[in-house]
């Protein structure tokens, strides 16, 4: 699977799951990831529960359900590798544009990068090789 092509061509709904160091799980709706390489993706995130959990536990899972008939999509198994608060970089990658006042009021943003450890089909356990 070519992740960049997949996430460029498909539309749908994404959900990221994280947990704190005690194993308490949280899920949140997230847009398609930014593909940074064959096996790396990144998300722009605010300093909320998902980001907080990633400070304690670097593992996450991202589920993407395509906008088409049936349950078609992928599950990405992720490990956080870095994060940045570089405003210019984050602004260049932000897909949702708010006024500077609205953006500032919603809190600080981070670009969080992940290694994609494994990709599975949405239903079943079929592993999809990453190109």
Mean pLDDT across 107-127: 94
Whether 130 is in a domain gets the answer no
Full domain range(s) for residue 21: 3-121
The CA distance from 42 to 14, in Å, is 13
Q: pTM score, two decimals?
A: 0.91
CATH number where 67 lies: 2.30.110.10
Q: What are the CA-CA distances from residue 45 to residues 2, 14, 68, 115, 124 (Å)?
A: 24, 14, 27, 16, 29
Q: What pLDDT does residue 41 have?
A: 98
* pLDDT score of 100 more than 90: no
Cβ–Cβ contacts within 10 Å for residue 106, how many? 12
Average pLDDT over residues 12-28: 97
Evaluate whether residue 128 is within a structural domain: no
Task: Classify residue 83: in a domain, yes or no.
Answer: yes
What local confidence, expressed as pLDDT, does residue 101 receive? 74
Give the pLDDT score at 93.
83
* Residue 64: pLDDT over 80: yes
Of all residues in the chain, what percent carry a pLDDT higher than 90?
A: 79
Share the mean pLDDT of the chain.
93
């Amino acid at each position: 699977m070519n992740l960049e092509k997949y996430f460029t061509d498909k539309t749908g709904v994404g959900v990221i799951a994280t947990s704190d160091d005690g194993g308490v799980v949280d899920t949140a709706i997230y847009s398609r990831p930014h593909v940074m390489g064959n096996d790396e993706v990144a998300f722009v995130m605010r300093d909320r529960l998902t980001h907080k959990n990633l400070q304690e536990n670097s593992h996450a899972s991202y589920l993407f359900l395509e906008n088409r008939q049936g349950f078609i999509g992928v599950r990405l198994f992720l490990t956080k590798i870095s994060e940045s608060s570089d405003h210019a970089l984050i602004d260049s990658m932000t897909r949702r544009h708010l006024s500077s006042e609205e953006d500032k009021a919603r809190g600080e943003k981070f670009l969080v990068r992940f290694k994609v450890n494994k990709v599975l089909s949405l239903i079943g356990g079929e592993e999809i090789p990453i190109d």
